[in-house]
Amino acid sequence: MFSFRDKEIAKGIVNRIKELNVHAKFMHVCGTHQDTIVKHGLDDLLRDCGIDITQGPGCPVCVTTPLEIEEAMQLARAGKIITTFGDMIRVPGSCYSLMEMNSQGYDVRAVYSIEDAVNIAKLNKDKDVVFVAVGFETTAPTTASVLLSEPPCNFSVLCCHRLIPPALKAILDMGEVRIDGFIEPGHVSTIIGLNPYRFISEEYHVPQVIAGFEPLDVLIGVYMLAQQVKNHESRVINEYKRAVKPDGNVKAQRIIKKVFSKCSVKWRGFPVIVDSGLSLRRGFSEYDAREVFSDDLEEVYSRDYAEPAGCRCSEVLRGLCSSRDCPLFGVECTPSHPVGPCMVSVEGSCQIEYRYTVR
Amino acid sequence: MCLAIPGKVVEIDRDGQHAVVDYGGTKRVVNVSLVDVKVNDYVLVHAGFAIQVLDEKEAEETLDLFRGMLSSEGV
């Protein structure tokens, strides 16, 4: 449909970035951006121009906490049918993954959409079906839409949705890593629009560009950031205008507000981030797996869950190190035998690095 | 997870909640309750839901902008 891979244009943009002579470190928070950057070798190309790009906490599966994974496992042990997106079932928990529970006889099913999970509930009326709802603002409205359509009473949601702007604020407040600009996630932005990012530019004076996912989108996004750095500006620029409207998807925002309220939650690799999570409003408590199955879950909350030994996913997610800095990368930790979530998810930086650069 | 794929709406169900979307030959039923769509629109689909309608005019303008910056002072 569109042609955003023109080599000549790409060369021209790279030359323009070089001419700016800006040395900067930019962060993006989206696995799909990381995929484009590594697949097309843009990271090396941009490093030669003085620009370092790193992935932050932009993989929903990766930032889901060990406790949330244990909650899902506990509900599987209690005899519920657990449904969730494919990558989630492969994330190692304290003993094993949800997928391994399947081979032990528990009922865990990967689904493409929450609507598939509802259909499973309709077909299994004698069983409880729990959907583990992970994902950012892009995915939250799909959960909201289903809950507003009166799903069957044997269906419930283990809500693990998170919000991107509070995580950006947390990264800046923690101050562990230099960030001269953010490449904002295009698909989250189709929902939330431009306004929720503005405080980052206004209060923290960090330039931002909402970018699409083709190589030219990323290159022009970097150029727009570098230009702002050069001119000492900090604005939110929308490069992905073909998909992101200034106000976002108002319909989706409305149903998110109707179904969820904001809550403060921990992210893997991070402490509790204020107002960065979504929980179901009281009116939807009959679909809230944490409410409905509180007795089954009680045991899970009495324990602490450590990160896998030697795994540096927490630091990768905070942009403190790259996948290759982890001693487990490509040795003990591979896509077929992942130790940490960043090697599981197709949006995890370790998986992407392995997929495109390990021969 | 936040991966979204563009496709073309080829048919809308009577209930207006679902549509058949063509991804270059592969067709799937998609929930379109989050967007206002009509047949022949291009939509971005995420986890079985259309999350936004793509604007072809904006896409062309962005490409023009890219081309333009190579022959002028910049964006």
The larger pLDDT score, comparing residue A74 to residue B68, is at A74
**Which residues in chain B (25-54) have CB-CB distances under 8 A to chain A?**
31, 33-36, 42, 44, 46-49, 51-52, 54
- A147-191 pLDDT, tens per residue? 999 999 999 999 999 999 999 999 999 999 999 999 999 999 999
- A234-264 pLDDT, tens per residue? 999 999 999 999 999 999 999 999 999 999 9
Distance separating the N- and C-terminal Cα atoms of chain B: 32
Smallest Cβ–Cβ distance between B46 and the set A3, A16, A187 belongs to A187
DSSP A78-89: TTPEEEEEGGGG
The larger pLDDT score, comparing residue A3 to residue A334, is at A334
Return the pLDDT at B70: 67
Confidence of residue A77 (pLDDT cuts 50, 70, 90): very high
Nearest chain B residue to A86 by CA: give it. B1
Cα distances (Å, whole numbers) of residue A276 to A63, A169, A174, A267, A273: 12, 10, 15, 9, 6
The answer to whether residues A183 and A53 touch, using CB atoms and an 8 Å cutoff, is yes
**Rounded percentage of chain A residues whose pLDDT exceeds 70:** 99
Mean pLDDT score across all residues of chain A: 95
- A274-327 pLDDT, tens per residue? 999 999 999 999 999 999 999 999 999 999 898 888 999 999 999 999 999 999
> Furthest-apart CA pair in chain B: how many Å?
51
Looking at the predicted structure, is the pLDDT value of residue A2 above 70? Answer: no
Determine whether the interchain pair A187/B54 forms a contact, defined as Cβ–Cβ distance below 8 Å: no
Distance, CA of A65 to CA of A212 (rounded, Å): 28
CA distance A62 to chain B (A): 10
Is B18 touching A (CB cutoff 8 A)?
Answer: no
- Which residues lie closer than 8 Å to A113 by C-beta, 6 or more apart? A142, B31, B47, B48, B49
Return the pLDDT at A231: 98
Which residues from chain B sit within 8 angstroms of residue A244, using beta carbons? 52
Nearest chain B residue to A252 by CA: give it. B34
Q: What is the mean pLDDT of residues A265-281?
A: 97
Distance, CA of A146 to CA of A150 (rounded, Å): 7
Alpha helices in chain A (DSSP H): 7-20, 31-39, 42-47, 60-63, 66-77, 98-103, 114-123, 140-147, 164-174, 186-192, 198-204, 215-230, 250-259, 289-292, 294-297, 313-317, 349-357
Smallest Cβ–Cβ distance between A139 and the set B35, B47, B52 belongs to B47
Return the pLDDT at B56: 83
The answer to whether residues A127 and A80 touch, using CB atoms and an 8 Å cutoff, is yes
Return the pLDDT at B2: 61
CA distance B55 to chain A (A): 5
Return the pLDDT at A32: 93
Distance of CA B63 to the CA centre of its chain: 16
Which residues from chain A sit within 8 angstroms of residue B22, using beta carbons? none
Question: Coil, strand or helix: which one is B48?
Answer: coil
Closest CA to A142 of A161, A114, A110: A114
- What ranges make up the beta strands (E) of A38-113? 51-55, 81-85, 108-111
Domains contained in chain B, CATH given:
5-71 (2.30.30.140)
Nearest chain A residue to B41 by CA: give it. A1
Nearest chain A residue to B70 by CA: give it. A12
Query: Which two structure tokens, joined as six digits, stand for A106?
Result: 């528990």
Q: What is the mean pLDDT of residues A18-26?
A: 97
Return the pLDDT at B24: 86
Smallest Cβ–Cβ distance between A142 and the set B49, B54, B59 belongs to B49
CA distance A135 to chain B (A): 6
Nearest chain A residue to B5 by CA: give it. A187
Question: Coil, strand or helix: which one is A356?
Answer: helix
Return the pLDDT at A68: 97
Looking at the predicted structure, is the pLDDT value of residue A202 above 80? Answer: yes
Return the pLDDT at A9: 86
Amino acid at A195: N
Domains contained in chain A, CATH given:
1-297 (3.40.50.11750), 313-357 (no CATH)
Amino acid at A27: M
CA distance A76 to chain B (A): 22
Which residues from chain B sit within 8 angstroms of residue A113, using beta carbons? 31, 47-49
Return the pLDDT at B74: 43
Which residues from chain A sit within 8 angstroms of residue B35, using beta carbons? 249, 251
CA angle, B38 then A192 then A41, to 5°: 90
Confidence of residue A4 (pLDDT cuts 50, 70, 90): confident
Cα distances (Å, whole numbers) of residue A347 to A135, A171, A353, B3: 12, 19, 10, 9
CA distance A200 to chain B (A): 22
Tell me the sheet residues that pair with A111.
A85
Return the pLDDT at A5: 76
Return the pLDDT at A209: 98
CA distance A299 to chain B (A): 29
Return the pLDDT at A94: 87
> Quick one: DSSP state of residue A286?
G
Return the pLDDT at B61: 82
Ordered mean pLDDT values, 10 residues apiece, chain B (75 residues)? 83 94 92 96 95 88 76 51
Looking at the predicted structure, is the pLDDT value of residue A109 above 60? Answer: yes
**Rounded percentage of chain A residues whose pLDDT exceeds 90:** 93
Is B13 touching A (CB cutoff 8 A)?
Answer: no
Looking at the predicted structure, is the pLDDT value of residue A63 above 70? Answer: yes
Which residues from chain B sit within 8 angstroms of residue A62, using beta carbons? none
